[in-house]
Structure 1
Amino acid sequence: MIKNFKKINYLKNGNQRQKLAFYEINKHQVLETLKQYSPILVGTIPIDIDIPNSDLDIICECKNHSQFTKYIRNEFGNKKDFKIYTTKKNGVDCTIAEFKTDNFIFEIFGQNIPTDKQNAYRHMIVEDLLLSKKGNDFKNKIKELKTSGIKTEPAFAKLLGLTGNPYVELLKFEHKLSK
């Protein structure tokens, strides 16, 4: 069953790091500030496969990158080590902002794609379903691979024996797992 990751209340009952993420996101009013951009926390912390240097990834839907950049700079530009830039990923414009708080690095990622259709969200849903099906041994092996420096999607691909682009191959599980 697919969990509701669109609200972060689930973090309150999670592990220590998830509880700290919940506190930090609320303390800095990150989701509240980004509300007009339909933000969703994605990545490894929500699905409990993070490692100590994992950041808080928040995806947003932004239709106008220059307005989004201006808004993000205005709202978060005073945060430690703030930076923002626009680039292309898979041929799609994206604006990425980073900053630090006491306990985390935040990465805000904006694309002109609804947040629940963005690959980061879709990957997290597939990964969460795989973790629930495969159990704790699988989860621990993912964390070990991540600790050794392998990124999340390639770690899943390695354990699942997938060949080709791990980001593409993982998405092929979407329809199989959501049934």
Structure 2
Amino acid sequence: MVINFRDITYLKEGTVRQKEAHKVLLELNIFELLKHFNPILVGTIPINIDVTSSDLDIICQSDNHEDLIKVVSENYGEFLRFEVKTIPSYKNLKTTIITLEYKTFPIEIFVQNKLPEEQDSYLHMLVEYQVLVKAGEEFRSKIITLKQQGLKTEPAFAKLLNLEGNPYEALLTYGFEKGYIS
């Protein structure tokens, strides 16, 4: 089954944590609020490899980061651990990361002037999802165990797939080679 990651309704039919995430996202009305910024939920929760500390990662697109910062600050600026960081150049793109906490979820909003479907975090998730579909439940369990031991997601996949070098780049290369992403 291929998931339409653009539409968060798939979370309603998922795990307990996915259902909680769906409820929280609806309570916050965050996808409606960010609709002009092309939001997509990415990361471990959508593909069911999250651990207790996993956050809700929302990637967005904007050439005017100040507009997005204003919208998010006006609506969520009073939330716990609210913080805005702008990195002048990450892979030659201005990147803004807004973090906050709501109920049991840390939330990270990540914005670049790049289509979300072309951003690394989305591509990583697609590759990871395809690997999980093909490799099965035992592989999923091993990934979660590695994450519980402190390994980040991409390094955990790289380790189990025997990928060498930078795990973030190696995973993308692997995805292209396998035809999981194009």
SS of residue in 1 equivalent to 2:82? strand
Which whole-Å CA distance do the structure 1 matches of 2:3 and 2:58 have between them? Answer: 17
Instruction: Judge which range, 157-166 or 2-11, deviates more.
Output: 2-11
Residue pair 2:42, 2:125 contacting (<8 A) in 1 also: yes
Q: Show the counterpart of 1:55.
A: 55
Secondary structure class of the residue paired with 2:95: strand
> Cα offset for 1:34?
0.6
2:180 corresponds to: 178
Q: Which amino acid aligns with 1:108?
A: I
Secondary structure at 1:82 match in 2: strand
For 1:167 and 1:98, the matched residues in 2 are separated by 22
Residue 96 of structure 1 pairs with residue 97 of structure 2: yes
Which deviates more, 3-12 or 40-49? 3-12
Which residue in 2 is equivalent to 1:156? 157
Measure how far apart 1:2 and its partner are: 4.1
Alignment RMSD (CA, Å):
1.4
Tell me if structure 2 keeps the 8 A contact 1:84–1:96.
Answer: yes
SS at structure 2 position matched to 1:173: helix
Q: Is contact 2:97–2:108 with CA below 8 Å preserved after alignment?
A: yes
Deviation at 1:174, TM superposition (A): 2.9
- Give the TM-score taking structure 2 as reference length: 0.94
Q: How has the CA–CA distance of structure 1 residues 2 and 119 changed in structure 2, closer, same or farther, with 3 Å as cutoff?
A: farther
Q: Which residue of 2 aligns with 1:79?
A: 79
Distance 2:86 2:180 in 1: 33
Contact 1:126 1:171 in 2 (8 A): yes
Q: Give 5+ residue unaligned stretches, structure 2.
A: none
Q: What is the 5 A alignment of 1:1-179?
A: 2-87=2-87, 88-175=89-176, 176-178=178-180
Count of residues paired in the alignment: 179
In the alignment, structure 1 segments of 5+ residues that lack a partner are none
What is the rounded CA distance, in whole Å, between the counterparts of 1:140 and 1:159 in structure 2? 11
Counterpart of 1:156, as a letter, is F
Residue 23 of structure 1 aligns to a residue whose secondary structure is: helix
Instruction: Give the TM-score taking structure 1 as reference length.
Output: 0.95
| CA offsets 1:110-161 (integer angstroms, 9 cap, x no match) | 0000111111101000000000111111111100110011000000000001
Structure-2 change in CA distance of 1:55 and 1:79 (3 Å): same
Q: 1:98 is matched by which residue type in structure 2?
A: T
Partners of 1:99 and 1:66 lie apart in 2 by 17
Q: Is the 8 A contact 1:59 1:108 kept in 2?
A: yes
Native 8 Å contact 1:24 1:103 kept in 2: no
- What SS does structure 2 have at the residue aligned with 1:172? helix
